[in-house]
Chain A
Amino acid sequence: MLPPGMEAASVPGAAALGQTRRVGDRVGDGILHGLTALAALIGVAIVFAIVWRVADGAWPAVKLFRLHFLWAREWNAPLNKFGARDLIVGTVVTSFGAMLLAAPLSIAIGLFLSELAPPAIRGPVGTLVEMLAAVPSVVVGLWGIFVLAPFDAQHVQPFLGSALGWIPIFAHGQDKVESTVFTAMIVLTMMVIPITSSICRELFIGVPTELEEASIGLGATRWEMVRTVVVPTVRGGVVAAVILGLGRALGEAIAVSQVIGNFIPLKLSIFEPGDTLASRVAGQYQGAITNVQIASLIYLALILLVITFITNVAAQRVVKRFEFQRTGGA
């Protein structure tokens, strides 16, 4: 509710303002309007150009394999047999698996650095996390390949295998192979944590102090404050941050192709090699033997495009719903 005297009606309308303003201002506004509209238009045009180009390049394969491509398992370039099923499954498993690990960790990091850590730590560690978010993903990926993947193969996988090996997806042959679906998940987790955790930290810092103080004043513990005030206030933003990380994980090609083993058909256990859409495109596009193979690789890119599109739309809906809940529909 606005204080009296500041109701919307008392503010002069845009048309009324226009007549009283100087000519220079009006021209400036016009230029600003034109430039921003043009930029927005270019953005839209680029999206359409990409979709058109990808669809056009994939067309020969779409015509040849139709939708059967989506559930065919074989990928045999010399025999011109192509199918995307295991690559789609590999992409979904690695990306969502990575987010399953990264989301709680990122939220925890953000909470610690914004609410719980002693002020002396908050500053320096916060800056470090921000810096980590600025490190290019290639660098994180390289570290993942040379440090994390061997460690994972030597220690983490055998341990998880012996503890959870009775569940088929965790079956482990006790051989220390580092090129596995699980390793790709771990590397992707490391690649998305900096970006999601730094966004979460920003979001939590942005929660009005009055709200936090009020809840503490009402006798809430720190945990109750976090659970009932801090997280709900920025829930939509946190979801958006996680989706941003998911987008990065879905499209990551080079780092994944170095650690996942580039092998299909996919096996049941995540401690076996696999492959993803982006990794296959990056690995085979340059050396493609036949035109059908090139078209099939672009078909893979088209599928990836559709997957990212769907996740983005879903994310927007989720964010909107949370916003709606928070503001009580006002």
Chain B
Amino acid sequence: MKRGLALIAAAGIALFAIAAAGAKSNDTTISGAGSTFVSPLVSTWTPALGEAFGLNVQYSGVGSGAGIAAITNRQVDFGASDAPLSPDQASACKGCVQIPWALSATSIAYNVPGAPVHLNLDGKTISKIFLGQITNWNDAAIKALNKGANLPDLKITPVFRSDGSGTSYNYTDYLSAVNPEWKSKIGVSTQPAFPAGVGARGSGGVAGVVSRTDGAITYVDVAFALKNHIRFAAVRNAAGKFLFPSLRRITAAAAAFTKVPRDNEMHIVNPSKKAALAYPICTYTYIIVPQQTSHAPELRKMIFWALTQGQRPQFTAKLLFAPLPKPVLVASEKTLKSIHS
């Protein structure tokens, strides 16, 4: 009996020693959590960051809301969110700054057996679907956008994110821009009170429900939709063109907004019809760091690299992240300089 106890104790001490040694050899580990949107991009950056600076970046895509909570409690070195911090979140985070570090789009994904591969939708129709006002796929409004297409008599099930999500923020930002009723009733939020449909947790949860529900429609970031082969719709922009999200169309949308406010909060949905080639549901995504942090030198190196080298097509193109436009890059670098230890 005593022998057994001694053995267990010895094993425990050995394990502890191994853990301690492991931690020592990687003392430049940078941990981050948040946005699932930016997660695949951070994964492509990680090996390059390891090579360039010996940084061991450990990122978990737990959702923007959870990421903000994690950096607020300082459980991680940085948070990542597709939605800007709300006033209460910003004050709770005590001296955090948000830096736009990637640019992409939200797709409108659907699962309708028998629907055309090229499904056209516009903002008014999408918002009415999510308001519960358009409830069948053979509705006249959808038919009018898809002349000659064979749309089934099938109930529409809107699927939304039930956890705090930057994608929800981007999506409701867009719906508020195209439909005043949405703006006054629901508004822009990471946790909007959707008036119809069913909710699911995380991009994965939403995709799962959509794939198993005939007639479902949802919103999910483009990289996720591409990676999981989810079919998405062409959305009409202000110029009247039906467009799928693509690098050029995301860039075109971002180019329509050149003013960056002091807190870096950008809204680039539904650009005016001058941006004829713009996909209308685009968003910046932010890295959130405390201005004062013990890892300041490493974080500055890492973020600067992400803003410059990290924007190169070899990392971004496949995931449909567009390079940051100049005015945003300038603002991001300026904010980056304020981070100190």
Contact = CB atoms under 8 A, between A and B. Distances in A.
Nearest to A289: B86
Q: Which of A257, A262, A273, A287 has the most CB of B within 10 A?
A: A287
A231 interface: no
Contacts of A173: 155
B199 A178 contact: no
Secondary structure class of chain B's binding surface, majority of residues? loop
Q: Which of B64, B163, B191, B194 has the most CB of A within 10 A?
A: B191
Given A173-B155, A283-B162, A289 B212 contact: no
Contacts of A290: 86, 88
Contacts of B163: 283-284, 286-287
Contacts of B192: 77-78
Nearest to A145: B208
Contacts of A263: 194, 197-199
Contacts of A261: 198-200
Given A78-B192, A175-B215, A179-B209, A287 B69 contact: yes
Contacts of A291: 88, 92
Interface stretch (B182-190, B222-230, B234-242, B313-321): B182-190
A258 B191 CA distance: 16
B331 to A, nearest CB: 24
A288 B63 CA distance: 12
B189 A257 contact: no
A79 B191 contact: no
Nearest to A279: B162
A289 B213 contact: no
B213 A177 contact: yes
A153 B69 contact: no
Nearest to B87: A290
B71 to A, nearest CB: 12
Contact of A262 (B63, B162, B213, B214): B162
B297 interface: no
Q: Which of A77, A177, A291 has the most CB of B within 10 A?
A: A177
Given A173-B155, A177-B213, A78 B164 contact: no
Interface string A286-316: 1111110100000000000000000000000
A150 B264 CA distance: 44
Contact of B205 (A76, A258, A273): A258
Contacts of B68: 286-287
Given A175-B155, A179-B199, A262-B200, A287 B194 contact: no
Contacts of A153: 212-213
A69 interface: no
B188 A78 contact: yes
A93 B115 CA distance: 37
Interface string A144-178: 00000010010000000000000000000101111
B226 to A, nearest CB: 24
B193 interface: yes
A287 B164 contact: yes
What bracket does the count of chain A residues touching chain B fall in? 20 to 34
Interface string A184-213: 000000000000000000000000000000
A289 B191 contact: yes
B201 A283 contact: yes
Interface in A31-88: 74-79
Contact of A289 (B89, B194, B214): B89
A78 B193 contact: yes
Interface in B155-174: 155, 157, 162-165
A317 to B, nearest CB: 37
A76 B69 CA distance: 20
A283 B86 CA distance: 18
Contact of B165 (A273, A287, A288): A287
Contact of B66 (A76, A175, A179, A287): A287
Given A263-B197, A287-B66, A175 B212 contact: no
Interface in B43-101: 62-66, 68-69, 86, 88-89, 92
Contacts of B187: 78-79
A309 B92 CA distance: 33
A176 B193 contact: no
A173 B215 CA distance: 13
B135 to A, nearest CB: 10
A286 B63 contact: yes
A74 B192 CA distance: 12
B164 A286 contact: yes
Interface in B211-265: 212-215
Given A284-B163, A285-B69, 13 more contacts: A77-B193, A258-B205, A261-B199, A262-B198, A273-B197, A283-B162, A286-B62, A286-B69, A287-B64, A287-B163, A288-B65, A290-B88, A291-B88
- Report, nearest first, the 4 A-B pairs whose CB atoms are least far apart: A287-B164, A287-B65, A262-B199, A262-B162
Interface of B: 62-66, 68-69, 86, 88-89, 92, 155, 157, 162-165, 186-194, 197-201, 205, 209, 212-215
7 contacts: A78-B186, A78-B189, A150-B212, A175-B155, A286-B68, A289-B86, A289-B189
